[in-house]
Amino acid sequence: MTTTIAESLTQARTRLNQALAKAGRAPDAALLLAVSKTKPADMIRDAYALGQRDFGENYLQEALDKQAQLGDCPGIHWHFIGPLQSNKTRDVASHFDWVHGVDRAKIAQRLSDQRPDGLPALNICLQVNVSGEATKSGVSLEELPELASLAAALPHVRLRGLMAIPAPSEDPEAQREPFRLLAEALSSLRRELPDAPLDTLSMGMSADLEAAVAEGATIVRLGTAIFGSRQ
């Protein structure tokens, strides 16, 4: 096993725990999602040996290849976090436990229709564009309620919450603003859809974890901080 992964994963866990403590939140209030895109299956295996069970992937074929190589590692929860085209929904619905970037009705509908019988409902988050023009993907805050009520009514997906990838900023205070908007959007959805299991704010990456945790992140998505920089 590479000591590198052991060290960086331990550091990432410490960093998350410290951010939670500083925000006055419980130590288990946020899940560490290890974003393993572009990294080999062996690195996932190392993190798995250290107890990591949630992994995020962006590219379907790469993810399917790694899942096949890791067939002897039971209990992994696979999260699809990349942009999702409609011709990929069938494989994603079959091979993942979570999809974080749902941003239109057609994708939500297809994921529900194509979720195989015998698997539990697919957990989904709606990606929201909280930075205005700065990022292209994600539903606008204005259109979010309509998409959320549609997704909440689908039988084979569970609408768990919201996800965002804000425009990068180095100022910790400025980083918090889009996360605050996302948290507020989740609160209003909870009032509008009281029966939906809306417990998830997927926000915060290697560069802005602390800001996201301060605003209530329940899943932080860390790639670089765990697996090192990507090509």
Question: Which residues would be at the binding site for ligand PLP (CB under 6 A)?
Answer: 35, 37, 58, 81, 165, 205-207, 221-225
The SS3 of residue 204 is: coil
CB of residue 229 to ligand PLP, shortest distance in Å: 8
**Shortest distance, position 220 Cβ to ligand PLP, whole Å:** 9
Judged by CB, which is closer to ligand PLP: 58, or 175? 58
Q: Which of 144/222 has CB closer to ligand PLP?
A: 222
CB closer to ligand PLP out of 122 and 222: 222
Shortest CB 94 distance to ligand PLP, Å: 21
Give CA–CA dist 139/8, Å, rounded: 34
Separation CA 173–CA 192 (nearest Å): 29
**Least distance from C-beta 103 to ligand PLP, angstroms?**
12
d(CA 113, CA 117): 10
Q: Which residue is nearest to ligand PLP (CB)?
A: 223
CA dihedral (27, 33, 36, 41) positive or negative: positive
3-state helix, strand, coil in the chain (%, to 5): 45, 15, 40
Pick the closer one to ligand PLP by CB: 137 or 149.
Answer: 137
Cβ contacts of residue 48 below 8 Å, gap of 6+? Answer: 70, 73, 76
Residue closer to ligand PLP, measured from CB, 66 or 221:
221
